[in-house]
Amino acid sequence: MPYFILLGIVFSQGDLGYLYLDLYSRKGKYPGSAHFTIKGGRKISEKEYQLPIVALVCDFSAPSGSSIARLNHGEVVTLFHEFGHALHSLLSRTDYQHFSGVRVVIDLAETPSHLFEYYAWDYRFLKTFAKHYLTGEVIPEKLVQSMNSAKKMFAATELQRQVLYSLIDQKLFGEQSTMPMDTISVVADLKRQYTSWNHVEGTHWHSRFNHFITYGASYYTYIYARCFAATIWQEVCVEDPLSRAAGSTLRSELLQHGGAKEPSTLLKDLAGDQILRYHKEGIMPNLTSLCKELELMGNDCNSQR
C-alpha cells in the first residue's frame, strides 16, 4: 500500500490544484491530523496562475495484510474538517500567495473546516459512500439520526469546555503583563468561576494542551467558527447540501477569496447580515443558529453579561 496518493483537482474551466492524501499512521510520522500548504496559489500573469499544492495528513489506523482500512465516525468527521481547510486552499484564487487559501484573519480560519464537518453528519451525503465493508449495505438513516441525537446529549457541557479553554488561553497569552504567573491557580480559578465542574487539585492538564501554544490567545476562534458555520449551513446548505447552487455559492462567496476580502463583508455577502452582531466597538458572531442547532435556545441566546 502506498504511503500517500496525489490527486489532481479539475473543473470544466481547467485544473484547480493538487492534493496529497497521507492518511495512515506509520513509524516516525507526524501524530494527529492537519492540513499543510506546500505551495499557495497566486496570479503570475493575466494568462497564468500558480496552482496550489496542499497535503492532508492524518494518523488513521493503517490496514494490515489483506484487511481494509475502516474509519470510525469520529475519524470521518476529522477527515472532513481537514478537507474543509484543503478546499479553502485549492479553490481560492487570489492575486498574491500571501492571501491564498487559509491565510486569512484568525477569526475566520476555522470556518470552512467546521462547515464541512456538517457533511459528515448529514444522511443525504453519508448514504452516497458509507456502506458496510462486507455486505455493501448503505448506512441506515435511523443510525445517523441516533448519532445526531447523541451529539446533542452533552452539547452544553462541550460548549462550556470550549469556553473554558478560550478563557484560559486569553488569560495566559492575552493582553496582560509578562510577569510570571501560577498557571495552575489561574486554570483552577477560571474553572471554578465559569464552569459547573470541580477543580481536581494536583492536576495540570493545560501544560499538555498543544493548542494553547500554537493558537496563543486565539483559541476562541473555534467557537467563532462553530457559530459562523452553523449560520452558513442553515442559510446556504441545509435544504440541499449536494446541490450545484450550494457548492457554487460556497466557492464563489467563501472559498475563492482566501484572505483577500474583508472578513465581515465576505460573511454578510455569503449568509446575510444576521451572521454577525455588533457589540460595543467590535463585531462578533451571532449565536442563534448554533444554539438552535444544539437545542440550547433560551430567552436570548445572544444576551451579554
Same domain, 159 and 267: yes
Partners of 35 in the β-ladder? 56
In the prediction, which pLDDT does 233 show? Answer: 98
Q: Are residues 79 and 157 in the same domain?
A: no
Which of 103, 133, 163 is the endpoint of a domain? Answer: 103
84 and 166 inside one domain: no
Those residues of the chain that have pLDDT short of 70 are: 1-2, 177, 297-305
Residue in 82, 110, 253, 293 annotated catalytic: 82
Are 60 and 158 within one domain?
A: no
* 119 domain-assigned: no
**Which pLDDT does position 299 carry in this prediction?**
47
Clarify whether residues 160 and 256 are in a common domain: yes
| Whether 256 and 189 share a structural domain | yes
Give the domain extent around 246: 153-293
Q: Please check whether residues 95 and 167 belong to one and the same domain.
A: no
Q: Are residues 12 and 89 in the same domain?
A: yes
> Percent of the chain having pLDDT more than 90?
77
82 is annotated as an active-site residue: yes
Contact 55, 18 (CB under 8 A): no
**Domain-located, residue 111:** no
Domain match, 187 and 69 both: no
Type of residue at 165: Y
Residue 102 CB contacts under 8 Å (≥ 6 apart), including other chains? 35, 37, 85, 88, 89, 109, 258
* Residues 174 and 51 both lie in one domain: no
The domain spanning residue 15 has which CATH number? 3.40.390.10
Count of structural domains, the chain = 2
By CB neighbour count within 10 A (0-12 exposed, 13-18 middle, 19+ buried), where does 265 fall?
exposed
Q: Alpha carbon of 70 to those of 55, 62, 127: distances in Å?
A: 21, 9, 16
**135-174 pLDDT, tens digit each:** 999 999 999 999 999 999 989 999 999 999 999 999 999 8
Task: Please tell me the distance from the alpha carbon of residue 162 to that of residue 277, in angstroms, as a whole number.
Answer: 20
Report if residue 80 sits inside a domain: yes
Residue 129 resides in a domain? no
The reply to whether 238 falls in a domain is yes
| Boundary (domain end) residue, out of 38, 70, 103 | 103
- Report the CATH number that the domain containing residue 276 is assigned in CATH: 1.10.1370.10
Question: In this structure, is residue 114 part of a structural domain?
Answer: no
Residues 175 and 278 in one domain: yes
Dihedral over Cα of 213, 86, 120, 112: its sign: positive
Looking at 73, 103, 133, which one is the last position of a domain?
Answer: 103
Q: What are 25-41's pLDDT values in tens digits?
A: 999 998 899 999 999 99
Same domain, 40 and 167: no
pLDDT score for 215:
82
User: Is position 54 within any domain?
Assistant: yes
Q: Flag whether the pTM goes above 0.85.
A: yes
DSSP 234: I
What pLDDT was estimated at residue 298? 59
Q: Is residue 112 part of a domain?
A: no
